[in-house]
Amino acid sequence: MPARFTELLTEGDVLLPLDARDKWDAIERLLGHVKRRGHVPEGRYEDYRDAVLARERSMSTGMERGIAIPHAAVDGLDRLVGAFGLVRSEDGLPFDSIDAQPTTMVVLLLVPRDQKLQHISTLADIARLLARDDVRDALGECADAAGAWRVLASAE
């Protein structure tokens, strides 16, 4: 059974604003945030970075409605970890999205390799939550991570 967004990530995993030049910079910043939060095992950061970047090079994780979910299946984790960034630039962030629109919400996920299939439905659940107009509108009004967290928690 898929976990709720707020069971996967904590308020501290929200980065607002996510100031990035492009999708590669956004991924790097979110990976750095995950590392600073202590979610990356010692000596694994480069492996995880390489895995997420390779996944993104193979096919963009930019979806529709301003959502991108860069992710990778990795070794060395016993649970899914990640970060959620909200882009505040007026123009959004180019992410090679399937609808060719800029991204304003980026969810970075590192998925334990042995749980990859289980988390496919989690990716879909996150996308469905963030695709809701009311959720996107409310997130757009948030001034800080705590506010964004309250929006996500109340929307689930």
Q: What is the CATH number of the domain that holds 22?
A: 3.40.930.10
Pairing of strands 71-74, 105-112: parallel
Active site residue 71: yes
Q: Mind listing the pLDDT tens digit for each residue in 71-97?
A: 999 999 998 999 999 999 889 999 999
Task: Please answer whether residues 111 and 76 qualify as being in contact, where contact means their C-beta atoms are separated by less than 8 angstroms.
Answer: no
Residue 1 forms part of a structural domain: no
**What per-residue confidence (pLDDT) applies to 124?**
83
With bands split at pLDDT 50, 70 and 90, how would you rate the model's confidence at 1?
very low
C-alpha–C-alpha distance, residues 135 and 59, integer Å:
26
Looking at residues 19-23, what average pLDDT do you find?
95
In a domain, 2, yes or no: no
Which residues in 51-87 are b (16+ Cβ under 10 Å) and which e? bbbebbeeebbbbebbbbbbbbbbeebeebbbbbbbb
Calculate helix-pair angle for 116-131, 133-141, nearest 10 degrees.
80
Query: What pLDDT sits at residue 3?
Result: 62
Q: What's the mean pLDDT in 40-67?
A: 95
**Looking at residue 90, what is its pLDDT?**
84
The domain tally of the chain equals 1
Q: Residue 63, SS3?
A: coil
Range of the domain at 82: 7-155
In a domain, residue 141? The reply is: yes
Identify the active-site residue in 33, 39, 71, 119: 71
